[in-house]
Structure 1
């Protein structure tokens, strides 16, 4: 069996994912608060809204503090001359080999949260799918984009 890829994504990925997840959970908290207000007007039992608040608290802890760490530990990648090797997953770990000859184009993407931490996502497109390596430092993502593009071009010329 092949060894796992050797390169890790940036550690700041955990902070970026936590920030994004916290924003989502804050929006969900507004819905929980709304359940208290609606429950008051429609005379719902208080336990419904309290249960929603407890579930929100537990899910928030898991989603904001636990999952980003596990997710970061699983994400690895490696670029070879003939293929890109990507590993990711939380419960089910997926290992994918993307042949260079199938690469059509390579992009880097950066949203406001990733920009705050100086990170970019690298996407590798083939005819069938798009593969992503998230949260790489900007310079590393740009260098990797150029390297993959060059390797894919060389493979195309060899065919």
Structure 2
């Protein structure tokens, strides 16, 4: 079961969008580090503060390298499928998770789109149940709307049947 992949996957633009988002975060972090280095120089902080800043730079560089590798690995690991009974999700890099959500337990289905997702015509879908929520991070707009409608339809039909 470890290699089982469901029939649907994320939008092919997911790695690019994730890299853009991570790059923005990394740039903000580097600006903050630059300000801290300037403050260290201007106020002549103790030597140990300088070495802590050097350690933060090393961790930041490793994080920047990881931010270019991780999106592709996440894209490859994400898959989902649904029918009139269940929504099934499979994701994870180190710790693989398989989630099965019964249609009868779905309480709401929402779509979300930020500025980067808008540029690439994608949306995320959030599925909420009584005890948890699950998100599919990036689907093409048409697929996201279609999936949202079908999940809501399946959940409502099951509720009426009971």
Q: TM-score when scaled to structure 1?
A: 0.91
Task: Answer yes or no: is 1:119 the counterpart of 2:127.
Answer: no
Query: Relative to structure 2, which stretch is displaced further, 34-43 or 94-103?
Result: 34-43
Q: Do the aligned partners of 1:106 and 1:148 also contact (CA within 8 Å) in 2?
A: yes
Equivalent residues in 2 for 1:99-114, closer than 5 Å: 99-114=102-117
Q: Secondary structure at the match of 1:7?
A: coil
Query: Which whole-Å deviations, capped at 9, do the CAs of 1:128-147 have from their partners, x for residues lacking one?
Result: 11111111000000001111
Give the alignment partner of residue 80 of structure 1, picking from 74, 80, 83.
83
Q: Secondary structure at the match of 1:10?
A: coil
Task: Answer yes or no: is 1:56 the counterpart of 2:60.
Answer: yes
Name the counterpart of 1:7.
8
Mapped partners of 2:45, 2:100: distance in 1: 57
Mapped partners of 2:5, 2:131: distance in 1: 24
Q: CA deviation at 1:54?
A: 2.9
Q: CA deviation at 1:55?
A: 2.6
Name the counterpart of 2:94.
91
Mapped partners of 1:47, 1:87: distance in 2: 42
Q: Secondary structure at the match of 2:80?
A: strand
User: For this pair of structures, how many residues does the alignment match?
Assistant: 158
Query: Relative to structure 2, which stretch is displaced further, 44-53 or 34-43?
Result: 44-53
Q: Secondary structure at the match of 2:127?
A: strand
Q: Do the aligned partners of 1:101 and 1:152 also contact (CA within 8 Å) in 2?
A: yes
Give the alignment partner of residue 44 of structure 2, picking from 39, 42, 45.
42
The CA RMSD over aligned residues, in Å, is 1.6
Q: Secondary structure at the match of 2:73?
A: helix
Unaligned runs of 5+ in 1: none
Mapped partners of 2:53, 2:64: distance in 1: 16
Mapped partners of 2:14, 2:57: distance in 1: 28
Q: CA deviation at 1:43?
A: 4.4
Q: CA deviation at 1:151?
A: 1.0
